[in-house]
Amino acid sequence: MTTPFHHEPGAAPPPQCPAHNLGVGPGGLRRLYGPEAENDPAGLYDKLRAEHGTVAPVLLHGDVPAWLVLGHSENLHLTRTPSQFSRDSRRWRALQDGSVAPDHPLAPIFTWQPVCVFADGAKHERQRGAVTDSMERIDTRGVRRHINRFSNRLVNDFSEKGSADLVTQFADHLPMMVMCAIFGMPEEYDERLVQAARDMTRGTETAVASNAHIVSVLTRLVERRRAEPAPDFASWLVEHPATMTDIEVVEHLRLILIAAYESTANLIANVLRMVLTDPRFRARLSGGHMTVPEAVEQTLWDEPPFTAVFGRWAVGDTELGGQQIKAGDALLVGIAPANTDPAVRPDLTANMEGNRAHLAFSGGPHECPGQDIGRAIADVGVDALLMRLPDLELGVQESELRWVGNIMSRHLVELPVKFAPSPQQKLDSDPLSVMARAVRPTGDWEISSPARPVPEPAHSLAGMQPAHAPGAAPQPRPAPAAPPVEPAPETAVIPQQRRPAAPARLWQAVSRWWNGY
């Protein structure tokens, strides 16, 4: 490993070493927190890769040691081998020997709870099975129609002004509106719930009160549904044969709400930022060659909503990426570094079209079960926004955009935009009762780019299994024989304001047909 600053753990840092700055701590190990990590995570991953290879020792808050897994194939091994790398945080040696206190800043992430995230084996299968079975009962076409309607409702709030901040006025709200509707509590969606979810994931001083608010909203929902089931996600969890207790159901709803909210809000903001600033996207989108789902997928490679997952603990002594891992060591699934691993992406500017082997949704038994819902919220939401405001432009210099981050995610603070003011639009008045699927699932969340031949990825991942859905783009399907809800006529959903150019209109029509609304 060639780096001017490489030195053995435990050795005193040489004079030229940036150990004197905040980025390096005891033993010369780099900190995964603090200004350097937050301002330039990609630069930090490069240094760690150069110094240690595919698995690097790092320091968490309080200079607690952990391993950051940087390599793509090493991350796949980490997530796919629960016999060696458990999800149960109670195995963490630092917790057992007291070197990490229960009030550690990362405690909300690592403190064990009786939910599927911290479970392995049969217990994980039981709890996760209840979640995934309930997800399969969701009517995907109905949800996409609601995402479209909610998006237009949000756009109505600022369309007449000619300017907006797409983070706080769009991306931060849409996932919460959708999740409240899916859960069966659309009336609970409000600014307070959005703020509470934001608080809980950003470790603010009011995080405890925010958590209490969310738990009380969800507890009331579960009590209502236990007494009187309805065709919604909360009822399906309550009545699932896994016979979860009410506390288990509330805890899983809370987990899903937070997992879905933070990640999907980040994804929408990141996609919009790329669409607005990257000439490749702007030109190709308006020219009709690149669809929003393709922009979403490229964003999942380049700006994954979760940059890392602090969530694996070594079951016994083992080896990973040439490093000796000890029983009870903590490891982070390095999503962002895996997605930029030179072994799989030697050229980061190459188009990843048709290649879904990124690790944005992690992998193995804990791979995100809500990925199709997250993709749908981003696809339909961004699509609806661009249709309403086709002349959208960034309202500040790109260099003025700011991010905040922690060890797990990176979040755009604001995305100011400007556009020609336009009047509000009348929204259709679908009842929210179309969330339940009337027929057995057919996997039709997978509504992505209009079908076309999928080229070989620029850099094929020879010998690797895609982490998620098969790499091939889905083929167009005829409308289902008995769709649960007839799609509304096009104009009922989004009446046109300014008529976009002909190719864009054609693309929009195809896109609407394809997206099912």
Applying CB under 6 A, the residues found at the interface with ligand HEM are: 79, 116-117, 128, 131, 255-256, 259-260, 263-264, 267, 305-306, 309, 311, 333, 360-362, 366-371, 373-374
- Per-residue b or e along 30-45, where b marks 16 or more CB atoms closer than 10 Å to that residue's CB: bbbbbebbbeebeebb
The residue among 17 and 215 lying less far from ligand HEM, judged by its C-beta, is 215
Cβ atoms of residues 85 and 313 within 8 Å: yes
Residues 6+ apart with CB under 8 A from 326: 93, 314, 317
CB of 123 to ligand HEM, least distance (A): 11
Distance in angstroms (rounded) separating the CA atoms of residues 353 and 431? 37
The residue among 197 and 259 lying less far from ligand HEM, judged by its C-beta, is 259
The residue among 75 and 169 lying less far from ligand HEM, judged by its C-beta, is 75
CB of 421 to ligand HEM, least distance (A): 31
Distance in angstroms (rounded) separating the CA atoms of residues 65 and 506? 55
The residue among 122 and 462 lying less far from ligand HEM, judged by its C-beta, is 122
The residue among 134 and 286 lying less far from ligand HEM, judged by its C-beta, is 134
- For the chain, how big is the Rg over CA atoms in Å? 23
CB of 299 to ligand HEM, least distance (A): 9
The residue among 28 and 305 lying less far from ligand HEM, judged by its C-beta, is 305
**In this structure, how many other beta carbons lie within 10 angstroms of the beta carbon of residue 278?**
17
CB of 163 to ligand HEM, least distance (A): 27
CB of 396 to ligand HEM, least distance (A): 25
Residue nearest to ligand HEM (CB): 370
Tokens 């301002």 correspond to 39
Q: What stretches of 278-396 show up as alpha helix (H) in DSSP?
A: 279-286, 292-302, 335-339, 371-388
Cβ atoms of residues 408 and 310 within 8 Å: yes
The residue among 129 and 483 lying less far from ligand HEM, judged by its C-beta, is 129
The residue among 184 and 370 lying less far from ligand HEM, judged by its C-beta, is 370
CB of 128 to ligand HEM, least distance (A): 5
The residue among 344 and 360 lying less far from ligand HEM, judged by its C-beta, is 360
Give the E-state strand segments of 81-195 in sequence order: 85-86, 163-165
Distance in angstroms (rounded) separating the CA atoms of residues 366 and 348? 27
Distance in angstroms (rounded) separating the CA atoms of residues 56 and 339? 16
The residue among 58 and 267 lying less far from ligand HEM, judged by its C-beta, is 267
In angstroms, the Cα distances linking 280 to 166, 284, 285 are 21, 6, 8
CB of 480 to ligand HEM, least distance (A): 22
Tokens 């992505």 correspond to 448
**In this structure, how many other beta carbons lie within 10 angstroms of the beta carbon of residue 463?**
6
The DSSP line for 376-405 is HHHHHHHHHHHHH-TT-EESS-GGG--EEE
Nearest-CA neighbor of 72 among 316, 360, 310? 360
CB of 441 to ligand HEM, least distance (A): 15
Which contacts (CB < 8 Å, 24+ apart) does range 472-476 have? 472/354, 473/354, 473/448, 473/449, 474/446, 474/447, 474/448, 475/451, 476/450, 476/451, 476/514
Distance in angstroms (rounded) separating the CA atoms of residues 64 and 47? 19
The residue among 337 and 374 lying less far from ligand HEM, judged by its C-beta, is 374
Both tokens of 292, joined, read 């929003």
CB of 321 to ligand HEM, least distance (A): 17
Distance in angstroms (rounded) separating the CA atoms of residues 53 and 69? 9
The residue among 24 and 147 lying less far from ligand HEM, judged by its C-beta, is 147
CB of 83 to ligand HEM, least distance (A): 15
CB of 296 to ligand HEM, least distance (A): 8
CB of 183 to ligand HEM, least distance (A): 9
